[in-house]
Structures are given as C-alpha cells and as structure tokens.
Structure 1
C-alpha cells in the first residue's frame, strides 16, 4: 500500500470537528472532500475535509493555511494497513497530532462492502476505483428520500436504486406512484404497469372520507348534510350485501372494505327522499343522485365504477398490486398521468391506505415487507396541511411514523424538500441528495442531515448530473458518489424536450394533430 503522506497537524478539536494547520509544501494539493487520517498510539481517526481557509488569496500571501475536518469514525489500535473501520469516535485526536492523507486502500476499507446484505449503486467521488454500497435492510426498512432540483437526475437515481435492489432480490414487493408516466420504460418486463386502461379500484374500497370527497358537494353546509345521508345509505347497502352473502355484519362500520351495490344506494336515496315533507329538503338527495349517476356514466372513472357485477375481489386486487406472488414482476408502477385530476388524490389515498392496512391486519410472521415509492411527494404531504387532501396526507404520515413496525417502508422523491411536511421527512433515515441550488431547500436538508455530514452539503449546488451525496442509515459512511450507469432500456422517460433538434426542421408528419385530438377525446395516453 502507498505511504500515507503527512499534510499538516491538529490545531484545535471541537466535538466532531478538527482544525488542521496545513504544511505549506502540500497545502495546494489538499481539496474539499479528501479523506484524512489522524494517527495516535491508540487509534486511527478518519475525517473528511469540509472546508479550506487562507488569510489572503494568491500564492504570494503569507500566513498559515488551514482545513476543517468532519470526523467520521475510527479504528482502535496502532496504525496498520489492515484496520477495521467503525463509525463514531471514542478517542479524540490530540493537539499537534500529525494528519495524513488517506490512500486508496484506506478508502476501500472505510467504504468496504458491509457484512449485511448490500448492493452496488456506484463509485466514490474521491476515487472511482472504490465502489459505493447501500445496505438494503437499513435503506429500505427505515425510509429514504431522493431530493434534487428539476433536471438533476432524480428519476434515473430512483431507477438505479430500485434496479440494484431488485436485481439482487427478485421477489421484492415495491409499489411506485408515477404521476408523469416516466418509469414504465425503465423497468420493462420487471414491472406490472397499471394505467387507467387496466386499473381496477372498486368504489366500495373507499373509506368514508374518500366517499365524501368523491360523491359530495365541495362547499358547506351542503357537504356535511350530504355526507350524513350518504353514510346512512352506504352502511345499509353494505349490511344487506353481507347478509346476502351469509356473513355476520356485527362488526360492520362505514369504513369496512366490503362490497355494496351502488344501485341499491340510489334506491335508498329515493326512499329517503320520498319520506320528506318539504320539497327543498330533497336537494341533498338530488345532488347525491345526480353525482353518482354522472360518475357511473363518465368513462374516465370506469376503473372505479365500470364493473358490470359487484364481487368481493379485494384479495385479487391486493395480490396484483402488492405482487403476491411477484411472478417475475416484483414492482407495480401506477401511472397516474391519465387519472382525472379531481380524483387522483383519492386514488393515491386508497392505495396508500390499503398498503398500510393490509400490513396492519396481517398476522405477525406471515406478512411480507412492502416498499411504497412516492414521486412528487410534496403534492401529497405538503408542509401546509391546508394544501393537501387530508386522507392522503394522513395515510402517508401514518406509514412514515408507524410503517416500520408492520413492514411498510416509504421512499419520497421530490424537487422541493422545503415544501414537504417536516413531520414526514423527519422519519426518513437515509437522504440521497442530488444537485440543489435553492437556498431554502439546502437549509431544509442541512437540518435533516447528521452533524458530521453537514460539510458535504456545501457540494450540493456544484454536483454534476449522476452525482449524489448519500447520508444516513442506508450507507456505511456519509459519502459523495457517482451513480452507476444505466443502459438505454433502463432509463426513465423523463428527458427534457430537445428544442434545438426538433426546431431545426419542419414538422410535416401527416395525421399528427388529428391523432393527438383523437387520443385526447378518448382519454388514452
């Protein structure tokens, strides 16, 4: 192994930070992000160069040059090439101790493949020869977030992470919410792609809050009156269906996910309206009836209301969406691009709630861990609670807070971390941060990062595409990495429009406009 060359000596120690006076001969060769080692008789302490200082610019300027190190971990015992690295520092460096530059062999040991199950996701920024690994159980089991500005490569990063995991664990169970139809192209036959053409989400899976959102008026006081009427009719229809199937309805509530006939709800609404003495009292009944009829006729909602018969196919729905069994497709991608805007929040709410409730009610020891990846997460769990659909926000918040107990993990993907609920983001134990130039977003991420990784944050605005800073439980040590390459058939469909190329030639494709209009009218993407 090459010799560890001295670069300076310890001038001050404060917690996990060390100030180093650099030797004049090598000061110009030291860079931010370099790994350094401080050797004593009892230990080897390792740290990353966070910042460099000089009294005045220019090579002619006098005065000492200094560097600030963030301590990462140590190896107990005398200096050796075959050391064992562990996070945390129990023996602080002494004043005047010699600081040396770590060599490639040191980096390989510090960032060595963990003994736990792990997968390759890229290589170190400091040395491309050193691979970067992710600890699968800690990364998935304790929630993660992929953060970065638009165009920084979030979609490709998600593809790298999920492909790495699924290549090593082909019987996984991942649900990915895709609002822009990006990921189907990245996973091909590895994924079950669910679009509005093959989405099946029966209306009877809605809980009371979701029913109210779909069926009732948006404004008060009509909404509350209609909701009470709807609750009474739906509960009666559910009870009738259960009794007809020979099942006990003693534990039935309005939120119990059992089938009921919407036609019977309409009949009960008419019966209730017939008991009224005043014509104006029938307005809530008429509103509900009109809304239900409109939804049943609207083909955009056929995935929810288009079933010809009412059957208890909840087991089939869950098996398909949770990939039980995986059958060679361990990933379900929900393409939400074609879901009507007025109901997309309800669809996300139902999916998130079903995933959590299924895990909650599964007998201990029989369940399987499920990962839910939520693209554009700031839309569903925003910092401002008034800006979100309440049931969706509560469902995701519940997964963030309680999901680990039941084997449900959460992956959040967003370009605006400062707009995400702090309560939800605080539950995330691994952060994958890409290029980020917004100062407010950087500050938000800084608060979420562990102290000894804060120095890596300064690199966020300067990260290149395919580079990321990864910190938290999912990696052995906080690190700046270059993500591995994706083949052409493994890349999400999220490239920026090529204006210069397309605008360089006339667009004379016959039928282009007519075909687009036809797809528009058929609501078929």
Structure 2
C-alpha cells in the first residue's frame, strides 16, 4: 500500500508563483513513469505540492509552453537564444492530514517547493473509504471501475444537491443511478420524487420488459390521474393564489373569515381537542358550503357596490371548481382526507411502507404543476418542522426539471412554488429535509436555491450562460474545472462539494433498469413506418380523457 505522497519518480517541477487560489510552477517534465504507468501533466490530473509546510493537494487547470528569450555570450559577442519553458497552473483543493484528504489548507506551499504527480493508488489512499467504518458513504460507480467513488449520504441529502446537465447528457440516468444506489445501500430511505415526464417508474420496477421486484416493492409510483392535493390543505396565501382571488380588495378578509369559521365548525364536529384553528390549519371544510356562505353574506349587503366583491368571489371559486385541470383539488371531498392520511399516501408512511414515492405530474399543465410542487413542498416542510426530532424521518425532495417551476426571474404564477422551495433551501437542513435539484438549464433556476446546494454534480453543459452560472457557484479554486464540461461523456460528471472527499470526474454506474428517457430512434421508425397496431382514434381518446396510462 502507498505510504508516501512524494514519490521521487513522480517529481516533475518546482513552484514559482503562489497566490490565494492558484499555484504556477515550472515543470522539468510533462510526463513521468511510475510502476509501468505514465503520468502526464493534463488538465484534471492530481498533484501534490510537498515541502516543509506539508502536503497540498491540487489539480492541474492549465498547461502551456512559453518561449523565453535569453541573451547568451558567444565567441563573437552576444546572441539571443529562445528557450522553451513548461508552465503548469494548479488549483488548490485541500491538504493531506495523516494520509487523508482534508478541505482547506493551513499553510500555502513556498517558492521552489517540489511538486509530484499522484498515482491512482495515492489518490485512492487520499479518498479511501472503509465501508465498515464509514457507513454514511455509498458507492456510485461500477464495481469494475478502477476509480471507485463514494458519496457521503448525510451531506448529499441533508445539504442539498444540484444535478445539472444539458438534455442528452445522461442526467436522468445519473439521477436514477444515484437513487438506485441509495435503495440498494440503505434499508429505509425516504424520498419524494416530482416526476415531470413520467420517466422514472420504469427505473424502479414499473416496466414489464425490465421488472425489478426489489425496487418495486419499496417504491410507490403514483400516476397523475390518481394524484390528489385536497384544497383544504392550502394555506390562505396558496388558496388565494390558486383560486385567483383579488388581493387588492377586501376579498382576502372575507375569505379568511369564512374559511376560519368553517374550519372551527369542523373541529367542533370532529371533537378535536387543544387545537389552534386559523385559515391555514389543514382541516377539512366543504368548498360548496363556502360558496353558499359567501352568497348569504352577499344578500345581507345593502348596496350593489358592497355586493360586488362577494359576486366576484363566487365566480372565481366556481370557475376553478369546474375546471377539469384542477380536479385533483376536489376529487376527495367525500372522503374528507385528513392531513395524517395524506402524509401516509404521499410519503409512504402507511403500514406497508414505501421508501421512494414518485409523483407523476406529467398530465398537469405547467401553471398547475408549479402550484402542486409548491404546496406539497410546503406541506413536507411543515411536516418536518413540527417533528421534534429531525432524525425521525429525514426526507429528500427530488425536483426534476426544476427550471420549469422555480425560475430565476420573478413571475407571479411561479411565486408559490419558488417561495416554498427557497425556504427549504435556506432552512431545511436543520429540520431534516433536503433538496435534490435536477435541471438542464441552471441559468434559469433560482440562484437562491442553487447557491444553497452543498454538492454539485455537473454533467455535460454546452451553453455559456449555464457554464457561467456554475462558475459563480463553485469555489474560485474549482471554477476553472467548468471549462471541460462541454467535453464530458454521457453519464460522466464533475462532482464537487460536501458529499465527495476529493472533487473529481465520475462515470456513474449505468442504472438497471433504465428510466424511460432514451433518445427516440428516428432511424427505426422512419425505416419501417408506423406500427401495425397504431390507432389515431386511441391517441385522440387519450387526449380527450387526459389519460396517458395506456
């Protein structure tokens, strides 16, 4: 086993310039061989600056050869000689303490300090994980991979994670791979997945062609036509936003008074003791009764001007009540679902527990989807806020296609989702609720959310705006690593942050089964034509019924 980080055979240069975040050295060699393996000065390679100060672990961010003109004495006077100088720029990552990597450095290297390439064995020693001792770590790479990579679950889930990559970079497969690794490594995780395109159930056993009983038995995939979000769980602000009520008039005061009145009556009816009732309390009330109460109050008003706010309220409530896009709000009126029953449904807390709960939101319009994500996120935050011990049921919300409902710009229709998710990003860690933010356009996602993430998993990103956003989020010492993001392979990512010991490129394990996110095979369809069982009538019927189950 390697015991030193300063192999003489791997020494290749000396430091000539040091500042707070980078180091410049002049290399004697750009290639060294050790134990029959060639080590090159290439971008991304790991280097140790070892001297009296200790061992400073760096990564190569730039390699160049410059020409220097020197004046040299000759037999007939002086001549100008051009000399090549090998210049290597390093980004500081941390230091080695007792042979293990640690973030931050106590003392920076000194001028003329010697530098050494690090072999794969030395890197493995730096980031070495004893799985018996470090049980909070789990492996995300294939067993045959020479560079096994482990992530710290506590920091990955608890300090928020961003998974970023352009479409086609392997983002969905990376998400599925990480979740599958967690399900395989831990008995009782608790994750709630907002699935925007209905592509993830197939990765967890809900596919007849690639079944997986182990994953399926621990997963609850809720199809969008079974999805419900009872309106009586909305707080007052959400209720006003969903039903398009006018905040500029006295409608807010009217609706607050009447909802509180109906909830107080329901509490008395159910004989619930010691409860503080307000318009925000998640207790059932009948919306049709609310409309009747508004009509009664309207009739008691003396003038048309005083009746106008009540008439407007009734029209707006009935408009949403009759809108089929919002049927998920009203489908459980007869059952009067309680908040405890809803958490059993949405978080898999019933007798037969499910540890991964996938909400298929693919059948909902974009503006409705944003409301659902916001309200459910707020309910989950409240659930953890009132749990006196945050370690009882630590929870992670996976936000797929996050740019569609927590955008960077201010838009009133996204206020509910944006504000609720941003609150979790800022405060969720201490209550045991974390976020996994997944997006193909990080430049369009709320900076408040992304800046709170402790781990960044950046797959291939080709857009300048997206790359610049990542540069601003990463520490200055790692910002240069963003330059190679456009050249990453499918499923390969640059991983940095709290959950990984040493920032590095990682080729994630291929998920098995796969999510339903593969590229469409145009060549096949455009060669053989439409299938024999294709039915335009069935397609239109599904469209009319808003049913994608077939």
TM-score normalised according to structure 2 size: 0.86
Structure 1, 299-308 or 459-468: larger mean CA deviation: 299-308
Distance 1:424 1:146, change over 3 A: same
CA distance in structure 1 between the aligned counterparts of 2:231 and 2:389, rounded to whole angstroms: 29
Q: Unmatched 5+ residue regions in structure 1?
A: 78-82
Shift of 1:301: 3.5
- Please point out which of 340, 344, 347 is paired with 1:319: 344
Q: Unmatched 5+ residue regions in structure 2?
A: 33-38, 68-81, 206-215
Distance 1:51 1:342, change over 3 A: closer
Shift of 1:330: 0.7
Q: Verify: 1:168 aligned to 2:173, yes or no.
A: no
- Please point out which of 143, 146, 159 is paired with 1:129: 146
Partner of 1:500: 523
Three-state SS of the structure 2 residue aligned to 1:500 is: helix
Shift of 1:442: 1.2
Report Cα offsets for 1:391-442 as digits up to 9, x if no partner. 2211111101111111111111111112222222221111111111111211
Partner of 2:14: 9
CA distance in structure 2 between the aligned counterparts of 1:342 and 1:280, rounded to whole angstroms: 32
- Please point out which of 133, 136, 148 is paired with 2:165: 148
- Please point out which of 50, 73, 76 is paired with 1:39: 50
Three-state SS of the structure 2 residue aligned to 1:371 is: strand
Shift of 1:286: 3.8
Alpha-carbon contact 2:203-2:511 (below 8 Å) kept: no
Alpha-carbon contact 2:31-2:41 (below 8 Å) kept: yes
Three-state SS of the structure 1 residue aligned to 2:457 is: strand
Shift of 1:446: 0.9
Partner of 1:210: 238
Distance 1:253 1:107, change over 3 A: same
Mapping of 1:274-423 within 5 angstroms?
A: 274-279=299-304, 281-307=306-332, 309-324=334-349, 327=352, 329-364=354-389, 367-386=392-411, 388-423=413-448
Three-state SS of the structure 2 residue aligned to 1:276 is: coil
Partner of 1:80: none
Partner of 2:112: 96
CA distance in structure 2 between the aligned counterparts of 1:123 and 1:68, rounded to whole angstroms: 32
CA distance in structure 2 between the aligned counterparts of 1:511 and 1:25, rounded to whole angstroms: 60
Q: Verify: 1:87 aligned to 2:122, yes or no.
A: no
Partner of 2:28: 23
Report how many aligned residue pairs link the two structures: 511
Report Cα offsets for 1:4-30 as digits up to 9, x if no partner. 422222222222422121225739942
Alpha-carbon contact 1:456-1:480 (below 8 Å) kept: no
Partner of 2:449: 424
Three-state SS of the structure 2 residue aligned to 1:468 is: strand
Q: Verify: 1:198 aligned to 2:238, yes or no.
A: no
- Please point out which of 157, 164, 167 is paired with 2:174: 157
Which ranges of 4 or more aligned residues in structure 1 deviate by more than 6 Å? none
Shift of 1:40: 2.7
Q: Verify: 1:434 aligned to 2:459, yes or no.
A: yes
CA distance in structure 1 between the aligned counterparts of 2:24 and 2:179, rounded to whole angstroms: 39
Partner of 2:535: 512
Shift of 1:381: 2.2
Shift of 1:484: 1.3
Three-state SS of the structure 2 residue aligned to 1:55 is: strand
Report Cα offsets for 1:310-351 as digits up to 9, x if no partner. 535221111221222684631111111112444222211210
TM-score normalised according to structure 1 size: 0.89
Structure 1, 261-270 or 500-509: larger mean CA deviation: 500-509
Alpha-carbon contact 1:173-1:326 (below 8 Å) kept: no
Distance 1:42 1:348, change over 3 A: closer
Partner of 1:69: 90
Three-state SS of the structure 1 residue aligned to 2:168 is: coil
Alpha-carbon contact 1:178-1:334 (below 8 Å) kept: yes
CA distance in structure 1 between the aligned counterparts of 2:244 and 2:324, rounded to whole angstroms: 19
Alpha-carbon contact 2:367-2:413 (below 8 Å) kept: no
Three-state SS of the structure 2 residue aligned to 1:74 is: strand
CA distance in structure 2 between the aligned counterparts of 1:136 and 1:229, rounded to whole angstroms: 48
